[in-house]
Amino acid sequence: MKAATFDTNFTAVTPALPTTRLPALGLDLVDATAAQTIATLLAPGRRRAFFMNAHCCNLHRRDRGYREAVACADVLLPDGIGVELAGRMTGQRLTANLNGTDLVPTLLEKAAAQGKSVYLFGGKPGTAEAAAAALQAKIPALRVAGTRDGYDGAADAEAVIDDVNASGADILLVALGVPMQEIWLHRHAMRLDTALTLGVGALFDFLAGNVSRAPGWVRRAKAEWVWRLAQEPRRLAKRYLAGNVSFLANAALRAWGPESAAAAQRRFLDVTLSLTALVLLAPLLAITAFAIKADSKGPVLFRQTRVGRNGREFTMLKFRSMSVDAEARRDALLATSDREGVCFKSKSDPRITRVGRFIRRFSIDELPQILNVLKGEMAIVGPRPALPTEVAAYPPRALGRLAVKPGLTGVWQVSGRASVGFDKMVEMDLSYAASRTLLLDLSLIARTFGAVLGGRGAY
């Protein structure tokens, strides 16, 4: 990152923005508020700014031309939750997430107040014009010096340069997509008269309404990529799911080493699947809650203390499938357990409600534990969390189950659940803890769907 830049067309020196080098990425990113960043970008002088998100960082590792373009930029702006998480891996917190879809319109408002004009270059035919119209509707004082599409309009670089320079624009927004836009600017920026050049990715599509923007509450929850996946699953799955897993795994590898990289990758998978499940299963969750309330008195959710990793207790959530006095009646029913060992399970348990039998049969009662996964108390894959009374009765070997986070599903859950005896369950869980890999987790997740539909051992 350059601290200051001199240019033959400007006598002013580019003010320096504070930056932070993230070892997990090997990049110097702006570490400033949006207001500070905008003020510097609009100050006298020439500068080129690129946004860096997880997808950009993945390309940066493997595309030499893109790396060269990024290295010559004056400003690199942190964009997205992935980059923020990469910083936190080494205890670094960037001042702000400078997301382009939020930052650029605000920057143009300030630019309009200063009498500056903007040129929009990129997007499908008609997209730049529609984006310009949307900006002018929002910022009436903004002067649009010109527009040009990124297809036929970009075929002749000389014509583009001549048109931009003839327009007298102060700011050039280039939306050719990563890495094309950055490489194009790297090759031609010194021949452009615009003071500020920005690579803006899909911004024109957002402004033109070609791509639905996530609601504010989704962005505040830092789950905008989940929203985008829901909008365009086939096109974006690779970038926003596999791409983010790959990015965080590599960031963790640089920051901590191979073992921690695997842990970060597994945690990202947990968060990814949990957030996606909450979005997709929202109707089922609502219907279940209504059915429980209509069937019997008592709360919709059942809270129970369970033992997690390394013996740490936490409050596990389930949909209530029993009568409200179930805990008080448990001791009187221990002799009716259908299962050998310290874990109680009875197929004819009289405490189970009518709705409870149905939601247990299809494991719907376990779905609220998605929230436990998001909080980091549980994982998607792991041993089932035990009661404190059960752990107190564990033989020494069984305590090895507590070496990993408890999970929503696992080897025991896909192998028969309650029909598997305690000793065999312990051996299954110990084997998983000793040999778990991301591939094994994905395999167990896939097998869970068949186990749920089959219903073996579910009661």
Quickly list DSSP for 183-233.
Answer: HHHHHHGGG---SEEEE-TTHHHHHHTSSPPPPHHHHHTT-HHHHHHHHSH
Say whether both 204 and 62 belong to one domain: yes
Distance CA 123, CA 150 (A): 5
In single-letter form, the type of residue at position 345 comes to K
Q: How many structural domains comprise the chain?
A: 3
Does 350 share its domain with 409? Answer: yes
23 and 164 both lie in a single domain: yes
My answer on whether 438 and 336 are in the same domain is yes
Is 276 found in the same domain as 135?
no
| Structure tokens, 459 | 């009661």
Same domain, 267 and 320: no
* Spatial separation of the C-alpha atoms in residues 370 and 196, rounded to whole Å: 45
Q: Which of 179, 208, 237 is the last residue of a domain?
A: 208
Q: Which residues are registered as beta bridge partners of 199?
A: 50, 174
- Does some domain include residue 123? yes
Supply the CATH number for residue 156's domain. 3.40.50
The Cα–Cα gap between 135 and 124 comes to: 17
Residues 6+ positions from 433 with CB-CB distance below 8 Å: 383, 400, 401, 403, 404
The pLDDT score that the predictor gives to residue 396 is 87
- Residue 103: its pLDDT value, please? 96
State which residues form the domain around 370: 296-454
Helix crossing, 81-88 with 243-255: angle to 10°? 20
pLDDT of 120 reads 98
What local confidence, expressed as pLDDT, does residue 193 receive?
96
Nearest to 306 by CA among 223, 366, 389: 389
In a domain, 3, yes or no: no
d(CA 46, CA 263) in angstroms, rounded, equals 43
Looking at the fold, whether 157 and 244 belong to one and the same domain comes out as no
Within a domain: 288: no
> Has residue 427 been placed in a domain?
yes
Residue 154 placed within a domain:
yes
Give the model's pLDDT for residue 6. 36
CA proximity to 5, closest of 16, 197, 42, 30 = 16
pLDDT at 381: 92
| Among 208, 240, 266, residue at a domain's last position | 208
- 276 & 331 share domain: no
User: Which amino acid makes up residue 181?
Assistant: Q
Q: Are strands 47-52 and 75-78 parallel, antiparallel or unpaired?
A: parallel
pTM for this predicted structure: 0.56
117 within domain boundaries: yes
176: amino acid identity, one letter? L
Domain membership of residue 1 (yes or no) is: no
**Pair (161, 247) in one structural domain:** no
Q: Torsion angle of alpha carbons 451, 452, 458, 459, nearest 10°?
A: -170
List own/partner pairs for 243-249 with CB under 8 A and 24 or more apart.
Answer: 243/54, 243/55, 243/58, 244/54, 244/82, 244/268, 244/272, 245/269, 245/272, 246/58, 247/54, 247/55, 247/57, 247/58, 247/82, 247/86, 248/54, 248/82, 248/85, 248/86
Which pLDDT score is estimated for 352?
83
Residues 278 and 169 in one domain: no
Q: Which secondary structure element, helix H or strand E, spans residue 319, and what is its range?
A: strand 313-319
Element (H, E) at 408: strand 407-409
Q: Is the residue at 459 inside a domain?
A: no
390 and 344 within one domain? yes
pLDDT tens-digit profile, the chain (459 residues): 444 443 434 333 445 789 988 876 788 999 999 999 999 999 999 999 999 988 888 888 889 999 999 999 999 999 987 788 777 766 778 899 898 989 999 999 999 999 999 999 999 999 999 999 999 999 999 999 999 999 999 999 999 999 999 999 999 999 999 999 999 999 999 999 999 999 999 899 989 987 655 555 444 544 454 545 455 444 444 555 555 666 766 666 666 565 566 777 788 788 888 888 888 898 999 999 999 999 888 899 999 999 999 899 999 999 998 887 767 666 665 555 554 555 545 566 777 888 988 998 888 999 999 999 988 899 999 998 989 988 998 888 888 889 889 999 888 878 766 667 788 888 888 888 888 888 888 888 888 877 676 655 454
Please choose, from the candidates 341, 331, 431, 348, the residue with its C-alpha nearest in 3D space to the C-alpha of residue 386: 341
DSSP annotation of 387 reads P
212: tokens are 């639905």
Are residues 244 and 98 part of one domain? no
Position 212 scores a pLDDT of 57
